[in-house]
Amino acid sequence: MNTALIPADKDPMGSAIADYFNRQKADRLRVFSSLFDEDEIPVKELFRTEKQMPALERNALQLATGKILDVGAGSGCHSLALQETGKEVHAIDISPLSVDVMRKRGVRHAILANLFDEHFQGNYDTILMLMNGSGIIGKLENLPAFFRRMKQLLHPDGCILMDSSDLRYLFEEEDGSFSINLADNYYGEVDFRMQYKNICGEEFNWLYIDYQTLNLYAAESGFRAELIKEGKHYDYLAKLTLK
Ligand code: SAH
């Protein structure tokens, strides 16, 4: 697993977050990928308040209890919402620019760390992974390593709350069948690259996983999966606990 941090000169998303925080506006955060047409992430949405969050995310915030770890916290939107309700949360991110913004916005425990770097230690009751939080796992083959890491960070009675999407709708034919080539890589493995102004990020793998596949891999690693809620477009929130 990659355990690196992102240098500021290769951090389009962190640069966009810093700009938006400092100037209340930002340029286009452009996204290129192996699967979708060129797209943009509206930077404002990275600063969404609890009211502006999709129902799946609000549901996850409600379920988060005890000592919470917000993984890949970005601008800190979820951590701030949790702090406001008196919950104890630690936010981690690999972007120094984003961690700096989180601290300035009042996230009390904003930590510059990669989830997969074993120097980062803790014992959490809830591990939150939101905004297609499964993405950070990168590839299907990383799932066993991911679950091993979760066992290091999770209290035995704790849970992971993760949202993801089943991308099979992208392969749906007019007759309702799916044209997925099973000899290819898993259809939810996507390569992304981002650009903000002239700052180009490195390519990274981002995993979208359907619930059945997540459930299968979880079971093999000693976790029980539960489908908490489905969204409007093949997206869902899952809860994973140790068996
Ligand atoms: N959760 C935030 C941001 C999502 S974008 C929100 O919902 O708005 C994904 C974030 O994960 C980025 O800020 C990125 O820097 C961070 N990230 C990616 N890989 C990571 C890793 N291995 N460990 C910690 N953070 C990571």
For the chain, domain boundaries: 53-186+207-242
Residue pLDDT, tens place only, 181-214: 877 899 999 999 999 999 999 999 999 999 999 9
Distance (Å) from CA 209 to ligand 1 centroid: 17
Ligand 1: atom nearest CA of 77 is: 8
Distance (Å) from CA 174 to ligand 1 centroid: 35
Distance (Å) from CA 73 to ligand 1 centroid: 5
Write out the two tokens for 155: 């209290």
The answer to pTM > 0.85 is yes
Residue pLDDT, tens place only, 11-40: 999 999 999 999 999 999 999 998 999 999
Distance (Å) from CA 74 to ligand 1 centroid: 6
Q: If you search the block for the tokens 């969404």, which residue do you land on?
A: 48
Return d(Cα 173, Cα 16) in angstroms, integer: 37
Ligand 1: atom nearest CA of 2 is: 22
* Across 223-242, average pLDDT: 97
Nearest CA to ligand 1 atom 26: 72
| Ligand 1, CB cutoff 6 Å, lining residues | 13, 46, 71-74, 77, 92-95, 98, 114-116, 130-131, 136
Nearest CA to ligand 1 atom 14: 72
Residue pLDDT, tens place only, 80-139: 999 999 999 999 999 999 999 999 999 999 999 999 999 999 999 999 999 999 999 999
56 and 237 Cβ atoms separated by less than 8 Å: yes
Per-residue pLDDT at 176? 87
Residue to probe by mutation, ligand 1, list 10, 45, 47, 71, most atoms within 8 Å of CB: 71
Distance (Å) from CA 179 to ligand 1 centroid: 31
Nearest CA to ligand 1 atom 8: 46
Ligand 1: atom nearest CA of 1 is: 22
Nearest CA to ligand 1 atom 11: 72
Q: Does domain 53-186+207-242 have CATH number 3.40.50.150?
A: yes
Return d(Cα 215, Cα 54) in angstroms, integer: 23
